[in-house]
Structure 1
Amino acid sequence: MKQGIPSVRSAARLSVAPMMDWTDRHCRYLHRQLSREALLYTEMVTSPALVRGGALHLLDHDPAEHPVALQLGGSDPAELAEAARIGAEAGYDEINLNCGCPSDRVQSGCFGAVLMERPVLVAECVTAMRAAVDVDVTVKCRIGVDDQDPEQVLPDFLSRMSDAGCQRITIHARKAWLQGLSPKENRDIPPLDYDLVLRMKARFPHLHLSINGGIASLAAAREFLEAGLDGVMIGRAAYHDPSAILSAADPEIFGTGAAVAPEAAVRAMLPYIAAHLEAGGRLHQVTRHMLGLFAGRPGARAWRRMLSEGAHRPGANGDLVEEALATVLASAAETAEAQPV
């Protein structure tokens, strides 16, 4: 555990799911302004990209993001071991193997959810990765794919991961239908089976199991934790309404600190935005992740409109963010004044 930073095992009590095109370094920096405790994940990075492609820029992250985990995609044990070593040397606190993504591109590369059909290979990958790094090696999986019977497939998968030395596993409580459903449809159409995941915790009490899929509130997260699961991973809800999920996560889930107001998070982002622009970045690269900060609050629509329309313009900078924030605060004040005494 780095000084002043929660361990990944304790941080995994609540985590933000790895999401392609969403959980980049700017998104993670924003989320860290809302929660000091939650575990953050990168987008999936493929082992070929790191080992054969030399795409080390994909590992860029700010020290403030810790605790932060790198998710890898791949199926070659030696290549994954090397990618894990590169990730650990880059400073990541955990290396996670993706066994849940259902996209066509992932299937053609023999990684992601298709690996649920190859548990022996996954165990070999985990063993090789663990031998290469000192940080935790974890797995994110589905309950099964296509015509597999989750009641049989999932316990066998977990048993093999345990035998390979993997002690932390996140289970997306849906099947992935690799034939017949798009990646988007696979996020919603296959039914959720939370009870199966809870039964797996009872069956494998020594494993640290987190649940993922369709969880959209801190209240729901607390229910799963109180039911005995070790962690909850939230994806789209944490991205689209980060304040609702992360602002109160530290006091409500971890019992530390105080809730963070979204306007405080905006102000905390301003120096980061200035540094990003100074380094040649564009404002929209950061602010696209901030659009949902005020979801459900007065001024939210104006906030989204001002950032969406203005952040792409040449010369756009932090002044636009401050103007949009002032609009939100003015709307909140007007709403408060209109309330009956």
Structure 2
Amino acid sequence: MSLYAAPVFAVAPMLDWTDRHCRLFHRQLTSRALLYTEMVTTAAIRFGDRERLLGFSPAEHPVALQLGGSDPAELAFAAKVGEDWGYDEINLNVGCPSDRVQSGRFGACLMLEPDLVADCVAAMRAAVGVPVTVKCRIGVDEQDPEEALDRLANAVIAAGVSALWVHARKAWLKGLSPRENRDIPPLDYDRVRRLKARHPETFIGINGGIAGLDAALDLLKSLDGVMLGRAAYQEPALLGSVDRLIYGAATEDADPFAVVEAMRPHIAAHLAAGGRLSAFTRHMLGLFHKVPGARAWRRILTEGGVREGAGLEVIDAALDGLVRRKAA
């Protein structure tokens, strides 16, 4: 099956959140959702520790590598490295508004240089056989989103992009923090729908402010894909319904308690290799969102997970508190 046969449900790339431990956890909840790495810069891939930056479990498939950069040759090199490591897709970040990203001439500031983005896509397409995609905004600063998004889309589609994921709000490069850029600029889903209407043959997915699966299903009536970020991270149990509701799989929704059991061998192997419990548990805090006893679950994992030598007994204690409160 093609990676980009609509509909596609994805968990957005999020710095400091969607690391390999997070993705492995999310995979226990859904076998079909497309997962993304944190953004990795081309310089980091050329000069850094590739095992630390790119290593992942085969269980994570399908999984995409998101790259940050603006030099076509460097992106082609990094894309090829990513393909060789086994990633199913290479994605170019044209959406992150942070000062650190802007100083490196990548992320959302590339909305101002659509021809350069197209050159980057073409170079990556020539280097790899897996899909090359772009994640962008509808515009930045004083740009007119009608013109800015069309210019970028036209350029990357002509360059052979496999899919365009659009965060449906502007990014303000000056005056707003990255956190504020996730909330303050207003969402404009209709702008993304108009883009899809102009390019019916191109996969167009949407990101930004999607609160849950009901909203995702509504957006999939007019678009090819939906990408959830904070909602999926903060309430991961919703991922347990993705295979059934989004993909129509004849499966039961993932049970959070069964997910915890499935995580045990992965966590044990990580601990045996000298890792810390919190590498996993920090991603699992929201698993029992709205379940009686969820506060105790979060507290025990938060306090116990960071202790030196913490092991699976912390998870057992958190489960015990949750079960007792649930039974009560």
Match of 1:338 in 2: none
Match of 2:262 in 1: 268
- The counterpart of 1:255, out of the listed 216, 233, 248, is 248
Cα distance in structure 2, aligned partners of 1:190 and 1:83:
32
- The counterpart of 1:113, out of the listed 103, 108, 111, is 108
Cα distance in structure 2, aligned partners of 1:326 and 1:267:
13
Q: What pairs up with 1:122-133 in 2 under 5 angstroms? A: 122-133=117-128
Deviations 1:66-125 (A, max 9, x none): 000000000000000000000000000000000000000100000000000000000000
Q: 1:56 to 1:28 in 2, by over 3 A?
A: same
Match of 2:3 in 1: 8
Match of 1:184 in 2: 179
Unaligned 5+ residue runs, structure 2? Answer: none
Match of 1:309 in 2: 303
Q: Say if 2:67 and 2:93, in contact at 8 Å, map to a contact too.
A: yes
Letter in 1 for 2:89: E
Runs of 4+ aligned structure 1 residues displaced above 4 Å come to none
Instruction: Count residues with an aligned counterpart.
Output: 327
Q: What pairs up with 1:17-36 in 2 under 5 angstroms? A: 17-36=12-31
Q: Say if 2:65 and 2:90, in contact at 8 Å, map to a contact too.
A: yes
Cα distance in structure 2, aligned partners of 1:89 and 1:283:
30
Q: What pairs up with 1:1-341 in 2 under 5 angstroms? A: 7-10=2-5, 13-226=8-221, 228-244=222-238, 246-256=239-249, 257-334=251-328
Q: Say if 2:7 and 2:246, in contact at 8 Å, map to a contact too.
A: no
Give me the identity figure in percent. Answer: 61
RMSD between superposed Cα atoms in Å? 1.1
Letter in 1 for 2:86: G
Cα distance in structure 2, aligned partners of 1:198 and 1:277:
46
Cα distance in structure 2, aligned partners of 1:263 and 1:331:
14
Q: Say if 2:277 and 2:310, in contact at 8 Å, map to a contact too.
A: yes
CA shift at 1:330, angstroms? 2.0
CA shift at 1:7, angstroms? 4.2
Q: 1:165 to 1:201 in 2, by over 3 A?
A: same
Cα distance in structure 2, aligned partners of 1:100 and 1:251:
30
CA shift at 1:53, angstroms? 3.4
Q: Say if 1:11 and 1:38, in contact at 8 Å, map to a contact too.
A: no
SS of 1:171 mapped into structure 2: strand
CA shift at 1:331, angstroms? 1.6
CA shift at 1:180, angstroms? 1.0
Q: Say if 1:11 and 1:37, in contact at 8 Å, map to a contact too.
A: no
Cα distance in structure 2, aligned partners of 1:277 and 1:205:
48
Cα distance in structure 1, aligned partners of 2:7 and 2:319:
32
Letter in 1 for 2:293: G
Q: Say if 1:98 and 1:111, in contact at 8 Å, map to a contact too.
A: yes
SS of 1:206 mapped into structure 2: coil
Q: Say if 1:11 and 1:39, in contact at 8 Å, map to a contact too.
A: no
SS of 2:36 mapped into structure 1: strand
Cα distance in structure 2, aligned partners of 1:206 and 1:71:
24
The more displaced of 255-264 and 84-93 is 255-264
Unaligned 5+ residue runs, structure 1? Answer: 1-5, 335-341
Cα distance in structure 2, aligned partners of 1:8 and 1:243:
23
Deviations 1:18-52 (A, max 9, x none): 00000000000000000000000000000111113
SS of 2:35 mapped into structure 1: strand
TM-score by length of 1: 0.94
Deviations 1:216-254 (A, max 9, x none): 11000000012x20000000000000102x011110110
Q: 1:12 to 1:38 in 2, by over 3 A?
A: farther
SS of 1:169 mapped into structure 2: strand
Cα distance in structure 2, aligned partners of 1:58 and 1:213:
26
TM-score by length of 2: 0.98
CA shift at 1:12, angstroms? 6.4
Q: Say if 2:171 and 2:181, in contact at 8 Å, map to a contact too.
A: yes
Q: Say if 2:7 and 2:220, in contact at 8 Å, map to a contact too.
A: no
Q: Say if 1:72 and 1:96, in contact at 8 Å, map to a contact too.
A: yes
Deviations 1:144-178 (A, max 9, x none): 00000001111111111110000301000000000
